[in-house]
Amino acid sequence: SREYYEKSPVIKEAVDFIIGEECQAVGHKRHLTRLYNELLNKDWFMTLIDLESYIAKKDEIFAAYEDRRRWKKMMLENIAHAGFFSSDRTIREYNNDIWHLKELDNQ
């Protein structure tokens, strides 16, 4: 992660903000410092690898949201493509594929 931090001014600014005065004024200094160090030295969840693309996508989403007509169209298309979902069906499929439990008699 340190490699991404050192190569990208965007990532460096975001990570440095964690230990900056503004953040530490409202947060717990020890916890923020630990987070900062773990992002740079461990980053088990690979947070920094795609941070720049995440920020770019967030900006794109905010721009789309500003255009209310476009946003509504995107929202409806997303709902239409979501497909069929039923919790009963999903649980039944989990049981058939994974759990293999017998149904209880409801009497």
> What is the tens place of the pLDDT at every residue in 11-43?
999 999 999 999 999 999 999 999 999 999 998
Distance CA 39, CA 81 (A): 36
> What pTM, to 2 d.p., does this model score?
0.62
- Specify the amino acid at residue 102: K
Residue 93 in domain: yes
Reference 27, options 46, 35, 82, 48; nearest CA is 35
Residue 104 in domain: no
Residue 107 in domain: no
107: confidence class by pLDDT, cuts 50, 70, 90: low
Asked if pLDDT for residue 60 goes beyond 90, the answer is yes
Q: What percent of the chain has pLDDT over 70?
A: 99
Residue 7 in domain: yes
As given in the structure block, the two tokens for residue 16 are 């440095």
Across 50-68, average pLDDT: 95
Q: How many domains is the chain partitioned into structurally?
A: 1
Residue 80 in domain: yes
Give residue 12's pLDDT: 97
Residue 42 in domain: yes
Give residue 95's pLDDT: 94
Instruction: Give the residue numbers spanning the domain of 9.
Output: 2-99
CA distances from 77 to 63, 67, 94, 105 (A): 18, 15, 28, 41
